Structure 1
Amino acid sequence: MIQTFTLDDAVRYTYEEMSAEEAHRFEEALCLDSELMDMFQTLHSVKCRLESTSIEKEPSRQTVNNILAYSKTYDLRVTHE
């Protein structure tokens, strides 16, 4: 029986989330299916680029300034009735 692999399977293989047996079957399918190989190569490339990209963990100073400027438009005084 020929197993059909999906994009989800390619993602699972790329992130090493398959059992050894399933990964072996996927690798065999890669050798026989050029579309699957193209899909895997694209996913692998994207994964490598994501891992090598430095991600900012803080908002830019401009973003903070925009938020502060926007918040000044609200009247936050407490009124006692």
Structure 2
Amino acid sequence: METVPIPLDCVDGFTEAYYGRPERFLEPEVRRSQSAWGFVDHDAEQCAVDRLRADLESGAWDARFGHLRDQPEFHGSLRLVIGLP
């Protein structure tokens, strides 16, 4: 099994693809394209989005996670499973 690094400019649209671009989660169409949001009820989703928006506007997100905006790749949960004959 190998870790699959996710590039900062990944366009696939899965959740970890936006590790350095959190503003994308403010877009309803982005959330609708990610299956994980289907397990979150509307009120919880709205609360999460409102909190993220506030953190982005205040600079709190960047103060804590801003280094991710320049990180060339992210080693998250993606794994490549290699089967041998």
Larger radius of gyration between Structure 1 and Structure 2: 1
Q: If the length of structure 2 is used for normalisation, what is the TM-score?
A: 0.28
Q: Which has the higher helix share?
A: 1
User: Hey, which of these two has a bigger chunk of strand by percent?
Assistant: 2
